[in-house]
Amino acid sequence: MVGGVVVALGLLVGATWQKIPDYPMLASLVLMFAIAWASATILIVNSVLRYGVSIASIAVLVISLKIEYWTFIGGIVGVAVAMLALWSVDRQYRAVCAFSFRFVLGGGLRIFLTALAIVFSFSYYGTIAERPVDASTVLPRNIFDIALRAADGVLQKQLPGFHRENTVDDTLAGLIRQQLAQNPNIAPNSVPSLETIKMELPAQRKEIIKNLNRDLGLSIDPDTSGDERIGAALYEASTKTIEPYLEPYVALVPWVMAISFFLALKTISVVYYYLMLLLLPALFWILQQAGIIEKKIVSAEKEAFELVK
């Protein structure tokens, strides 16, 4: 039963991995998968089955990702590292007299999370290596959108009324109206409405955008249509800024991106690690209270040195 849960979660993680940027809550599946794996290392008594579940869970994860050469290589490395994680847990479990989640599972959890980071990083490399390298490789649109959402507050200070879903004309009209409202020489009741400003924008849009680019260090295309989303316009401007610096290093970009991705995952895994150390004791307590598992005191043999009498 425990093994089936681990394998099923591995399948779910692989199937939903690509959707996490759009649906961040799906990242919790990775946490659940790691918790299930850690639980299985303790609860599955048969060592062959225990190792088999670890191998199968990584294997189905890899299969549910987009299968290609680098994902396959990452899967092999990931399985090897996951086996090392399981060996670490086994060794610590045999060494303790009083069970401690941190002592028994701590090292293994770190290694297992590293195994997952390796699999995902190889898969990511395979994805970007098979297509031409351009600015969108370095700055994917979904990542840019996440950053733009996070920066809404800062951008609104520079561009009053800014919202990433607004059109270019909506944003410009809001900015112009804000500036007019702040002008002490213009009476508040004389400030034109947004609709009035938008009607007059086509004739002045190019000049306004040029001034914005100069004042705010942006690279928005002055010839952009007013109906384009401001988020799309900013993304296009950002990629145009990146491209001249990218060209000399095209061959290195996939490797640099994959390594950076791995390091980012390792950083995130620190949060997962401590969450797991908090959640695992709670999970085992619930399982105990539900009568699903029990805690026993068993005798164990161990090697020791003593003086010959």
Q: Structure pTM?
A: 0.71
DSSP string for the chain: -HHHHHHHHHHHHHHHGGGTTT-GGGGHHHHHHHHHHHHHHHH---HHHHHHHHHHHHHHHHHHS---HHHHHHHHHHHHHHHHHHHHHHHHHHH-SS--HHHHHHHHHHHHHHHHHHHHHHHHHHHHHTS---HHHHS-HHHHHHHHHHTHHHHHHHSTT--TTSBHHHHHHHHHHHHHHH-TTS-GGGSPPHHHHHHHHHHHHHHHHHHHHHHH-----TT--TTSBHHHHHHHHHHHHHHHHHGGGTTTHHHHHHHHHHHHHHHHHHHHHHHHHHHHHHHHHHHHHTTS-----------------
**Is 207 a residue whose pLDDT tops 70?**
yes
Residue type, 39: S
Q: Provide the pLDDT confidence category of residue 296 given band limits of 50, 70 and 90.
A: confident
**Is 240 a residue whose pLDDT tops 90?**
no
Distance from C-alpha of 3 to C-alpha of 128, rounded to nearest angstrom: 33
Other Cβ atoms within 10 Å of 85 Cβ, number? 25
pLDDT, the chain, mean? 80
Taking only the tens place, the pLDDT of each residue in 133-161 is 666 666 777 777 777 777 777 666 666 66
Taking only the tens place, the pLDDT of each residue in 100-137 is 788 888 888 999 999 999 999 998 888 877 776 666 66
Which residues make beta-bridge pairs with 167?
229
* Domain boundaries along the sequence of the chain: 2-133+252-289, 143-249
Which residues make beta-bridge pairs with 229?
167
Taking only the tens place, the pLDDT of each residue in 1-58 is 778 889 999 999 988 988 887 888 988 999 999 999 998 888 888 888 988 999 999 9
